Amino acid sequence: MQEKIIADHILEKMTLDNVFNILNDNLFAFLNQEEIDYCKDLQEFCLELDPKIDKTKDVYVLFPELGKKGYMQRINKWKDFTPYGMKKEMLLGLHLSCLDSQLELARLASGILCGNPTFHYFHHGGESPEVAKIQDELMSGQKVGCICITEPERGSDAVNMTTQCMKIDDGVIYNGEKVFTTNGPKADYFATYGVYDTSNPRGTMVQAMIKREMGVKTNRLTINAVPRVHIAHTFFENVKVPADYILGDDGMGYSRLFEGLVPERLGIVGSGLGICWTALIYGIIYTNLRRQFGQEVGNFQGVGFSLADLLSQISSATALSFSAATIYDEKVLFAEKKSGAAEKWVAGISSQGKYLVSKLTHKTCYTVQQQMGGISVTDNTLVDELTDTSKIEEVIGGARNIQLFIIQNALRRYKKIL
């Protein structure tokens, strides 16, 4: 904090501990005992790490701390860290956003967007010891990962990518350019998509885990909203990727890309829920203590009704998101026989959830700032940092309209049953 103007008696209550107390009052009713215990462990971890976070430093110094507890991701089982699954991942993202929303953004890119493809690879029978080593390094937080899908001319239209792959005897050569690579400037590993034939991307897409030393170049983009996260313009110029690093070849890259999208979107929903709850709770704490016209400002209906409205929306969004995660766990991730109907439903609902929650992060932060007044745009509270991160939530993982595009496509299918 550069210059303090917030009153001491309010500042001493604006703590992560109090955020969790109010969160638990609203959250635990949604959870079973195993999930409650998992949240309590997470909260203990966050409360211990919180005083050690130096906001003048990049978030990457904190990755090994997450890795020690198996918190780089929790969808998949890694080492003996339990419990795991989609709902646990959502709860992880939620809590880490309460702790540090920029750390959570970078963690999701490394642990889920880059890490998940390694789990999918082994799930589908892959055996490369190189990939096993990469997975361990990413999960322990010792190394940083990123995902390279978006290109300068292929954003929402990601499938029609132009990054060109060429097969050689012992691997694949990549040539192309990617943008918005979250963690890119710091990354050791790049989960990268390219195609053998740009006129047939679905049939020829390749997914590879590329090491920086193979020749990847990155330039950092200036993105003011998240200064502690590095986001890159990434170049692959005749980058030779040995066969051991190819996760999905000859069109398999396309199915792996789509396999990753659902957990990725649900993961982003978890981060978004954390932003919503944290901003709202800081708003509740502050307006319960700040006095004007002889009383606490939260007593004025103009303030209190607005926060009540947000609470109703965030509770509803939380219920929807937890249902989606639970159904994904029960009928897809842990199911002996995956339910096709559930897979389809979760694919749709993950877009609905991503659309709803990421938009709600923005609305919540904006509204809370209006209700808290001037203090909320200073660095005396965390709310302005949450507002900045909320800008990214809407665009990362597919912009708002692309979620609506996916949802609309599903609506169009109903014509067939009329």
Ligand X SMILES: Cc1cc2nc3c(=O)[nH]c(=O)nc-3n(C[C@H](O)[C@H](O)[C@H](O)COP(=O)(O)OP(=O)(O)OC[C@H]3O[C@@H](n4cnc5c(N)ncnc54)[C@H](O)[C@@H]3O)c2cc1C
Rounded to a whole number of angstroms, the minimum distance from the CB of residue 366 to ligand X is 18
Rounded to a whole number of angstroms, the minimum distance from the CB of residue 294 to ligand X is 44
Closer to ligand X by Cβ: residue 155 or 227: 155
Spell 60-71 as b/e; 16+ CB within 10 A means b: bebbebbbebbb
Closest by Cα among 91, 29, 80 to 326: 91
3-class DSSP assignment, residue 177: strand
x/- string (CB under 6 A) for ligand X, residues 343-382?
----------------------------------------
Rounded to a whole number of angstroms, the minimum distance from the CB of residue 234 to ligand X is 9
Residue 395, interface with ligand X (CB under 6 A)? Answer: yes
Check whether the bond before 227 is cis (ω within 30° of 0): no
Helices marked H in 294-399 — which ranges? 301-328, 340-372, 383-395
Closer to ligand X by Cβ: residue 87 or 228: 228
* Residue 125, number of CB atoms within 10 A of its CB: 6
Helices marked H in 28-115 — which ranges? 33-49, 63-68, 86-99, 101-107
CA atoms within 13 A on the CB side of 230: 20
- Residues in 181-200 at the binding interface with ligand X, rule: CB under 6 A: 181-182
Rounded to a whole number of angstroms, the minimum distance from the CB of residue 135 to ligand X is 19
Closer to ligand X by Cβ: residue 329 or 394: 394
Residue 410, interface with ligand X (CB under 6 A)? Answer: no
DSSP class of 3: S
Residue 396, interface with ligand X (CB under 6 A)? Answer: yes
Kindly determine how many residues on this chain lie close enough to bind ligand X according to the rule CB under 6 A. 22
The DSSP bridge partners found for residue 181 are 232
Contact 278, 382 (CB under 8 A): yes
Rounded to a whole number of angstroms, the minimum distance from the CB of residue 41 to ligand X is 29
- CA 225 from chain centre, in angstroms, equals 16
Applying CB under 6 A, the span of 61-69, 120-128, 196-204, 394-402 interacting with ligand X comes to 394-402
Overall residue count recorded for the chain in this entry: 418
Applying CB under 6 A, the span of 73-81, 300-308, 344-352, 398-406 interacting with ligand X comes to 398-406
Residue 401, interface with ligand X (CB under 6 A)? Answer: yes
Cα 231 to Cα 209: distance, rounded to the nearest angstrom: 18
Rounded to a whole number of angstroms, the minimum distance from the CB of residue 144 to ligand X is 12
Closer to ligand X by Cβ: residue 2 or 224: 224
H-helix or E-strand spanning residue 25: helix 16-27
Residue 5, interface with ligand X (CB under 6 A)? Answer: no
* Tokens found for residue 211: 């090491």
Closest by Cα among 120, 148, 97 to 274: 97
Contact 120, 247 (CB under 8 A): yes
- Please pick, from the candidates 126, 155, 215, 227, the single residue that binds ligand X as defined by CB under 6 A: 155
Rounded to a whole number of angstroms, the minimum distance from the CB of residue 158 to ligand X is 6
Closer to ligand X by Cβ: residue 128 or 218: 218
- Residues in 95-154 at the binding interface with ligand X, rule: CB under 6 A: 109, 146-150
- Residues in 207-236 at the binding interface with ligand X, rule: CB under 6 A: 223, 231
Binding site for ligand X (CB under 6 A): 109, 146-150, 155-156, 180-182, 223, 231, 392, 395-396, 398-402, 405
